[in-house]
Amino acid sequence: MTLMKAYLRGLWEGKFILGYTLLLSLTLFIAAPFLMIALRSVGKGWFGRLWLPPQLTLDWYRWAVEVGNIPEVMKNTLIIGAIAVIVSTVIGIFAGWAFGRRQMPGKEVLMAIILLPRMIPPITYALGVAKIFYTLELVDTYLGVAMAHVSVCAPYAILVLSATFEGLDERVLEAAGVCGANTIKRFIYVVLPLILPGILASMIFSFTHSYNEFTLTLLTYGPNTVTLPIRTYLAVGDGYWEITSAMAVIMVVPSLLILAMIQRRAKPEKLVGGFKGV
């Protein structure tokens, strides 16, 4: 509504007409696919040249839950995501502390090497990961799929956390020491509150990555570890657009919630570094 009002006001004032036209078409460009998915997921008998579905129904969601086995799939996705988040955050905390707070020769080079997976298309190392996991029989286990996700999540966790730890001011710690806090107290009351936002950010990044990850999952999943993106992909292959749309809605809502949650805290530039399983 505000949008329409702003547009009309812009027209009225004769300024920014071009600008608002561009913004409005951008909004349409980005939002229209979601609208189509949402409408398709509740529409019934929507054929031919109709702008809106003639009947509304929730049948497709029922089908998605019953036939697509969404609760089971959701459980898989969450378990795999949790393992991937824990592993990559632990890796990130250790390596981030080393990169952010400790002196070492060749730090830049080492960091560049460890962050190398971001430079290479995931499918290239996904092949090798899949091959190794087949021999180790890690394919189609929660641990295996989660470890495959770690290869994508961990570089981002390291990146975010080393920036966080680097920003930690030594003088604050010294001040706490002077005021009589011992190491444990200093850690709990001073260090932890300062680094917690960074750790949370890294966890959210990692989880979103794991949640969206498609390439590596496709090469390591099995019947017991179908995740949401894979389930949606399989449904696309089956050709039932309505059910696929229902699954897509179920899948996209948490992503948008996370975006709404973090958009006030995190700067968009940081988001660009993260996200996307391609």
Partner 1 sequence: MGAGNDPPPPFAAAVQRDGMTAFWRTHQSTLVTVFLLLPALAGFFGLFFYPMLLTVILSFRPEGHEVGWTLENYTRFLADPDGRWVILLTFILALGSTALSVLLSVPLSLILREKVRGHQFYRLMILVPLVIPGLIGALGLLLFWGSRGWFNLFLLQFMPFVQRPVAVNYTIHGLTMFYVWLYFPYTCVTTMSALESLDRSIEEAGAVSGANRWQVLRYIVLPLITPGILAGSVLTFMAAFGAFSVPLIAGGNYRPLAVEIYKQISIPIPARWSAASAIAMIMGLLQVAFLTLYMRFVRRGGGTGGPR
Q: Return the residues of window 235-254 that contact partner 1 according to CB under 8 A.
A: 236, 241, 244-245, 248, 251-252
Q: How far is the CB of 64 from partner 1 (least distance, A)?
A: 14
Q: Is 114 exposed, middle or buried (0-12, 13-18, 19+ CB in 10 A)?
A: middle
Q: How far is the CB of 187 from partner 1 (least distance, A)?
A: 16
With left for phi above 0 and alpha for psi between -120 and 50, is residue 168 left, alpha or beta? beta
Residues of span 25-64 touching partner 1 by CB under 8 A: 26-27, 29-37, 40, 47-49, 51
Which CB, 19 or 167, lies closer to partner 1? 19
Annotate each residue in 117-146 with x if it binds partner 1 (CB under 8 A) or - if it does not, as one string. Answer: x-xxxxxxxxxxx-xx--------------
| Contacts within 8 Å (CB) and 24+ apart, 137-143 | 138/220, 139/220, 139/221, 139/222, 140/220, 140/221, 140/222, 140/223, 140/224, 140/225, 141/222, 141/224, 141/225, 142/76, 142/79, 142/80, 142/83, 142/225, 143/83
Residue in 83, 84, 95, 203 binding partner 1, rule: CB under 8 A? 95
Which CB, 6 or 78, lies closer to partner 1? 6
37 and 245 in contact (C-beta within 8 Å)? Answer: yes
91 and 157 in contact (C-beta within 8 Å)? Answer: yes
Asked if 2 is part of the footprint of partner 1 (rule: CB under 8 A), the reply reads: yes
Residues of span 142-171 touching partner 1 by CB under 8 A: 147-148, 150-151, 154, 158
Residue in 215, 220, 221, 225 binding partner 1, rule: CB under 8 A? 215
Determine the interface stretch with partner 1 among 71-79, 84-92, 167-175, 179-187 (rule: CB under 8 A).
84-92
186 and 177 in contact (C-beta within 8 Å)? Answer: yes
Which CB, 117 or 179, lies closer to partner 1? 117
